[in-house]
Amino acid sequence: MQTALTDSTEIAADFLNSGGVVAFPTETVYGLGAGICHPEAISKVFRAKGRPGDNPLIVHIYCLEQLADVAAEINSDARLLIERFFPGPLTLVLKKNPCVPDSVTAGLETVGVRCPANPVAQEFLSRCSCPVAAPSANLSGLPSATSWESVYEDLNGKIDCVLRGKPSTIGLESTIVECSGSVPILLRAGAITLEQLQAVLPEIRVNAVTDEREAPKSPGLKYPHYAPKASILFYNANETVAIGPSSAYIGLSDPPEGVSLFRICLNLEEFGRELFRFFRYCDAQCIKVIYCELPADTGLGRAIRDRLLRASGRH
């Protein structure tokens, strides 16, 4: 299959509206979209990514009026979060509207909904004739794509079109909050931090699967994620480590001595934005080990820690 590259939201939306699969930019990471009214296109998203069928997709809308097409019930917690954080890097899990196909929600009674703030995403979604189901636009298990070039690298020949935009400004997937039960639950950390959520909903809980037999609340959390080919090791500033050849480092502190490649980030925002791009760059340079500094578990540090722990296979 030929994968078209375009800068035009109109051309990209034409592909989607005729049953195609289209990658598009958002502020978190690039998404791989299919109209929820095109079941064949939804299956193609799973095939192109190699994504397990029991890992549901997030549905993307461009305005609040579209919410009713996706969700059956919006409780008072969800309303508060929508007021404060939509549009933006927040996904809400809500009771689903029956017209959302089971293939999108992996048979769950709930649906993840997000309204991205990126203006190109907004324009593209507004031209699509139905809400757009979209996981991250990368091969399953690999680091998410934060630029159109990374999307193309993973999915050229497997999807219909890539809408080229700027690199994602956040670079980490959306925060996910379940709002379909009596207590809101943070399922995945992201750029909307736990502290920001607590300011709106003080009773919010953090999802912690302590019992192996307990089904994870968010099916995707059980799969390996974000992993570069290189191994991930953790590094504390000022620790002495014996660095082998082809090693790299990313973090806020100075790198360990002897790494062949490093990225010192000025702050957590830059760390989050650069992380997946750096992983992919390291793979292209045949780096064998990436030393990563683990930020503290607060603010944006929580999301970066989560991605690093998962990428290292320790989550």
Measured from the CB atom, is 180 or 218 closer to Mg ion? 218
151 lines the binding site for ligand AMP (CB under 6 A): no
CB of 135 to Mg ion, least distance (A): 5
Measured from the CB atom, is 107 or 258 closer to ligand AMP? 107
| Three-class SS state of 31 | strand
139 lines the binding site for ligand AMP (CB under 6 A): no
The stretch near ligand AMP (CB under 6 A) out of 16-24, 78-86, 213-221, 267-275 is 213-221
The dihedral through the CA atoms of 276, 189, 57, 15 has a sign that is negative
256 is in the binding site of which of ligand AMP, Mg ion, none (Cβ under 5 to 8 A by kind)? none
Measured from the CB atom, is 217 or 288 closer to ligand AMP? 217
Is residue 255 a contact partner of residue 287, using CB atoms and an 8 Å limit? no
Supply 172's token pair. 């980490």
The stretch near ligand AMP (CB under 6 A) out of 62-70, 120-128, 212-220, 280-288 is 212-220
Q: What share of the chain is helix, strand, coil (3-state, %, to 5)?
A: 30, 20, 50
Q: How many residues bind Mg ion (CB under 5 A)?
A: 1
176 lines the binding site for ligand AMP (CB under 6 A): yes
Is residue 118 a contact partner of residue 26, using CB atoms and an 8 Å limit? yes
The burial class, CB within 10 Å (0-12 / 13-18 / 19+), for 234 is: middle
DSSP for 164-180?
--PPPSS-SPPEEEE-S
Alpha-carbon span 277 to 290, nearest angstrom: 13
Contacts with 193 (C-beta within 8 Å, 6 or more apart), sequence order: 175, 298, 299, 300, 302, 303
CB of 113 to ligand AMP, least distance (A): 9
CB of 96 to ligand AMP, least distance (A): 7
Alpha-helical (H) ranges within 18-168 are: 39-49, 67-70, 76-85, 102-105, 119-127, 148-155
CB of 223 to ligand AMP, least distance (A): 8
31-64 CB burial, b ≥16 within 10 A, e <16? bbbbbbbbeebbebbbebbebeeebbbbbbbbee
Measured from the CB atom, is 27 or 173 closer to ligand AMP? 173
Residue number, nearest CB to ligand AMP: 220
Residues 129-148 that bind Mg ion (CB under 5 A): 136
282 lines the binding site for ligand AMP (CB under 6 A): no
Amino acid in position 280: R
The stretch near ligand AMP (CB under 6 A) out of 78-86, 104-112, 267-275, 278-286 is 104-112
Q: Which of 77, 160, 173, 293 binds ligand AMP (CB under 6 A)?
A: 173
Residues in contact with ligand AMP by CB under 6 A are 55-56, 58, 93, 105, 108, 110-112, 135-136, 173, 176, 187, 218-221
